[in-house]
Amino acid sequence: MNAPRARREGLRVKEITDGRLAVYDEHAEQGHLLSPLCATVFHLADATRTFTDLTTAATRTHAVADTAVIRLALTELHVAHLLDAPPDT
């Protein structure tokens, strides 16, 4: 199973005080507002953590983070073109 990796190039990222993350994709000229959980997954997806590792790490700060929720967050990041490769869950 591949370890997901969030895109870093061509993005401007700004933390918002309530845990959300504003991401502007300079290539697509499109902005995204990530929920606190999705923002956590975005930060954790560095190609060193497997899907299971991501889930375990995310549950430390988000009690609702189970495999289905993490899978949904990765899918949303992929649809928004914020992952380097499709999630392999």
pLDDT digit string, tens, across residues 60-86? 999 989 999 999 999 999 999 999 876
Tell me whether residue 88 is in a domain: no
| Domain count within the chain | 1
Q: What is the pTM of this model?
A: 0.91
pLDDT digit string, tens, across residues 8-60? 999 999 999 899 999 999 999 999 999 999 999 999 999 999 999 999 999 99
Tell me whether residue 20 is in a domain: yes
User: Vertex 35, ends 31 and 41: CA angle to 5°?
Assistant: 100
Residue 1 has pLDDT above 60, yes or no: no
What pLDDT, on the 0 to 100 scale, is given for residue 56? 94
Tell me whether residue 3 is in a domain: no
Give the domain range for residue 34: 11-79
Cα separation, 81 vs 57, in Å, equals 23
**CA 68 to chain CA centroid, nearest Å:** 14
User: Vertex 69, ends 63 and 59: CA angle to 5°?
Assistant: 30
What pLDDT, on the 0 to 100 scale, is given for residue 9? 94
